[in-house]
Amino acid sequence: MDGIPVVIFDTSAINHLSKDQQCKGLVAALRHGFYTRVLATNFEEVAATVRSEERRALLVSVSRSLLTGGDCILPFNWLLEGHIEEFEKNSDYDWQKVAVCPPSLTEAVLHDENFFSSELATQQLSVARQLQDQFEAPFDRIRPEFEEIFRRHGRRIDSFAEFLGVMFGPGGSYWAIGAELYRHVTGYSPDEEKVRRFVAACPPFHSLLVAYARAQYERCVAVVPAANRKRLANRVDTFMAVYLPYCAQFVTADEDQHQCFSTVASELKLGTSVLMYEQFWNSMLVAA
């Protein structure tokens, strides 16, 4: 992998790739120029495809073909747990040394057919919908609270940059959110100073907080709230921000995902290019 750029396709990009008539040739081209890092989250979303067993089988096949030139990275919740556990016990914590791609995981998604059964697909879809509802519920409750704050102060926050400045300022609520995520792993809530140190040391965690802030801004703070949330980055799309520091290029076919992750990469000054599906392939043609 040394010297070879790492590329990650989100599930929307894999879906587009599977429909491309030149799919096999494109996958072969990837192997020559990139190390493809497939997300366990990709396979979880594919496993929830219940509309067509044939469609699910095709998505599984394409995802596995990408693995032949790379590896499989842990689900974002397991990945975050690993980072928090290492930071908690290791004074010399280095986020790049935390294991993210156990060989056993790659082996499982390559060969365990039970992982993609129709029965499991139905269960996976049900769980995904429940988690998405849980993700959206707090935003519906919080927006009236923001509106009341803006009314009392006589002005509202009118840009995402200003929102970030407030939420990540001294005593800002995102340090409390970070502490709560930390508590779920360690059993206790760290103080703001410790959360700040962890955020500074762990770009994957910082990326998640900024992506979540954007989700909250769009739903709760913007003057005109998003009318159609289906067009916004959902729970999985938002939490996938954890993976941005692990690749040179992140490819999506979802416009809002592109906008969200471009914002995260820019705010954190990551060396990650966030590209739309067609943009990625066009850039390969230009490079060739």
Rounded-to-integer distance, Cα 265 and Cα 87, Å: 23
Residue 274 phi/psi, 5-degree rounding, is -100, 115
Kindly state whether residue 252 falls inside one of the protein's structural domains: yes
pLDDT score of 225 = 59
Mean pLDDT value across residues 17-39: 85
3-state helix, strand, coil in the chain (%, to 5): 70, 5, 25
Mean pLDDT over 206-233 rounds to 75
Structure tokens belonging to residue 111: 């060969």
Mean pLDDT of the chain: 82
Give the structural domain span for 45.
6-287
Comparing 163 with 48, the larger pLDDT belongs to: 163
204/260: higher pLDDT? 204
207 versus 53: which is more confidently predicted?
A: 207
Which amino acid, 159? S
Q: What is the predicted pLDDT for the residue at 22?
A: 84
Residue 59 · residue 10 · CB < 8 Å: no
Give the helix ranges, DSSP H, for the chain. 11-19, 23-33, 40-47, 53-67, 76-89, 103-111, 118-153, 160-167, 173-186, 192-201, 203-216, 235-239, 255-267, 277-287
Cα–Cα distance between 67 and 75 in angstroms, integer?
Answer: 15
From 104-118, 130-144, 185-199, 214-228, the region with the lowest mean pLDDT: 104-118
Reading the block at residue 110, the tokens are 């390559």
Q: Name which of 32-41, 52-61, 192-201, 238-247 the model is least confident about.
A: 52-61
pLDDT at 168: 85
pTM score of the predicted model:
0.84
Residue 1 maps to a domain: no
Q: Which ranges in 9-117 belong to alpha helices (H)?
A: 11-19, 23-33, 40-47, 53-67, 76-89, 103-111
Q: Does a structural domain hold residue 21? A: yes
Q: In the chain, how many domains are there?
A: 1
